[in-house]
């Protein structure tokens, strides 16, 4: 099935000379597994290129814009912009999802972590495609308009810190206490455990998080706690 990508080109602000670059950036491996005779390969090579281009453009921008920021802060700023959560969110804003080439199974699985990674990887592949087809200036413009515009909000709200660090800062500022985490439950076999961990302010249980490791469960608990307390609004 060949999709009309002209609407996506408008969203991206780029009319491709070679439409196959853009089309291939949207092809997930699962689609090729189901459609081995499709004229193009999957998008993983373009994703590899786009990841490198994105990191370079973001790094150079941060280096110039924040001349007094130490390396550690700039690393955190960059990570907050190029992680899977943020990239999949931006892919959603662009409207990338309807144009993806996915297997029938992947097409149905719309709200999973896997879909989030597919969208993030596709956005990186699109960046690689823009770079190959349109050149360095065009890809820099796209990244600045679509991704780097998020940095001021991220820094203002300290979103470059991990959720546990943000919740700890907020808890100390708003409630005068340091959060503590307690394991409520461990389920499943050793190779596939699920941890349930509560985050507390003093004796108050704020919320519970789950994850395949204690660290993952604590991070989920902290993310939920920030929303429950509405401290970042």
Active site residues: 51, 124
Radius of gyration of the chain (CA): 20
Cα–Cα dist 18/37, whole Å: 20
What is each CA distance from 94 to 74, 144, 185, 221, in whole angstroms?
A: 26, 14, 40, 29
Q: Which of 201, 198, 185, 200 is nearest to 209 (CA)?
A: 198
């Amino acid at each position: 099935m060949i999709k009309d990508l002209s609407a996506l080109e408008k969203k991206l602000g780029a009319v491709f000379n070679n439409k196959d670059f853009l089309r291939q950036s949207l092809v997930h491996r699962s689609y090729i597994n189901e459609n081995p005779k499709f004229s193009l390969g999957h998008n993983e090579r373009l994703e590899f290129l786009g990841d490198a281009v994105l990191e370079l453009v973001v790094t150079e921008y941060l280096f110039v814009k924040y001349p007094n920021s130490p390396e550690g802060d700039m690393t955190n700023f960059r990570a907050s912009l190029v992680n899977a959560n943020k990239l999949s969110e931006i892919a959603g804003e662009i409207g990338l999802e309807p144009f993806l080439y996915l297997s029938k199974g992947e097409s149905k699985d719309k709200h999973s972590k896997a879909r989030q990674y597919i969208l993030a990887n596709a956005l990186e592949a699109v960046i690689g495609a823009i770079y190959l087809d349109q050149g360095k200036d065009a890809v820099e413009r796209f990244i600045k308009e679509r991704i780097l515009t998020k940095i001021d909000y991220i820094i203002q709200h300290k979103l470059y810190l991990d959720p546990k660090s943000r919740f700890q800062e907020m808890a100390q500022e708003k409630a005068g206490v340091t959060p503590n985490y307690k394991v409520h439950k461990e389920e499943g076999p050793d190779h596939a455990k699920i941890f349930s961990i509560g985050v507390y302010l003093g004796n108050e249980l704020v919320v519970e998080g789950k994850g395949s490791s204690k660290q993952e469960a604590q991070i989920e608990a902290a993310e939920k706690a920030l929303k429950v307390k509405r401290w970042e609004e």
